[in-house]
Amino acid sequence: MNAAGEGKAVYPVPGVRLAAVAAGIKKPDRLDLVVIELAAESVSAAVFTRNRFRAAPVQVAEEHLAATAPRYLLINTGSANAGTGEEGLADCRHTCASLARLGMCEPQQVLPFSTGVIGERFSVECFDRALPGALEQLDTAHWEQAAQGILTTDTVPKLASRRVRLGEQEVTITGMSKGSGMIRPDMATMLGFITTDARIAPALLREWLRELTDRSFNCISVDGDTSTNDACVLTATGQAGNPELRDADSEDARGLRAALEEVFVELAQAIVRDGEGATKFVEILVDGAGSAAEARTVAETIAHSPLVKTALFASDPNWGRILAAVGRAPVGELAIDQVNIWLGDVQIVRNGGVAPDYTEQGGARAVAETDILIRVELGRGTGTSRIWTCDFSYDYVRINAEYRT
């Protein structure tokens, strides 16, 4: 199962040029180095992994972003450059300086991103050889190549694009993401790059990125593992010429934010649909909780249960596994007799026990679908949360067992 918006329009974003080249970082003749050039007046915001073993590029990117607005994003696959100590930091700074010399900007104006095997350094010579050719190939139309160039175990590139009117101006939003395993963003291996030509005040851009990430990439899980390299960047080039958006409650701001959220959610869900070995897309909705945080805790406990995920792979309506996951979630004084659970439109648990009208045939029908909804009502408040995840198949074990071979 995979879906990444194949066949959908991908609109160039004025002020954004991209290139992808084969640098030979890990494998020959594979696109593995991506350069994104941003117009000089662009503003950017980023969020990064909270994993304590943060990769060298995460540390350097955060440092550079705090110093100045970026002109280039530099992304490599094949090596995560995580757990590589001072040498990895030096390698990362070297690649930023190399691109800065060619792009005639300061090294701090380059934000680096890496994905791949943790604990392995890359060859900076691969970057030095490939970067001149990458800059020669920069083009506004190269989104598909760039989306291909950031993949690791992904099976398809992930792109999303929208156009929306703000008064007299038409504004474009286009983004790409990568991720298939080690996915449980906490700001999975996950990278996201979303751009728009709208003019947005820096403070509003940062506010929106935090909100949109929480409603999209922070709502997905493939295997419950948070990467050392997670990052998401939102850039506004300002090329559309609209009056700068400062007030989040203005009509134009609300319209643009809604379109941005569509792109963020589409890219986040594409990661789950392309989860390593995934055959099912699973939405877990928990409501009636004492708080949103409590609802999220229950949803994540279900999403991270190997027993639930393997039952879904087998299309087995083994609802006891879902019930057990709800029961072991760290929720104080949970009233079991208030809990109701559904698989799709089939109620499997009513007031803490099997629903009297539940049938195995109905449950089997619900879990045979490619897209599955698990809904839990806790009956203790108004808190709600939604998580998107997938099943565990034989291929998940195979892919990760063979990852370094």
Catalytic positions are 189
Q: What is the CA radius of gyration of the chain?
A: 22
**Amino acid (one-letter) located at 356:** P
Cα 386 from chain centre:
15
Q: Which residues pair with 79 in a beta bridge?
A: 115, 117
C-beta separation of 387 from 219 below 8 A = yes
- How far is 162 from 267, CA to CA, in rounded Å? 12
Q: Which long-range contacts (CB under 8 A, 24 or more apart) does 211-215 make?
A: 212/257, 212/260, 212/261, 212/264, 213/47, 213/185, 213/187, 213/264, 215/261, 215/264, 215/265
If we measure between CA atoms, which residue out of 173, 227, 222, 229 comes closest to residue 196? 173
Cα 192 from chain centre:
5
**Amino acid (one-letter) located at 247:** D
Q: Which residues pair with 200 in a beta bridge?
A: 245
Q: Does an H or E element contain 159, and which? A: strand 158-166
DSSP string, 24-87: -SSSTTS--EEEEEE-TT-EEEEEE---SS--HHHHHHHHHHHHS--SEEEEEEEE---S-HHH
C-beta separation of 19 from 102 below 8 A = no
Q: Judge residue 125's burial from the number of C-beta atoms within 10 Å of its C-beta, 0-12 exposed, 13-18 middle, 19 or more buried.
A: exposed
Within 10 Å of residue 120's Cβ, how many Cβ atoms?
A: 16
Q: How many residues does the chain have?
A: 405
DSSP classification of residue 244:
P
If we measure between CA atoms, which residue out of 319, 367, 371, 308 comes closest to residue 341? 319
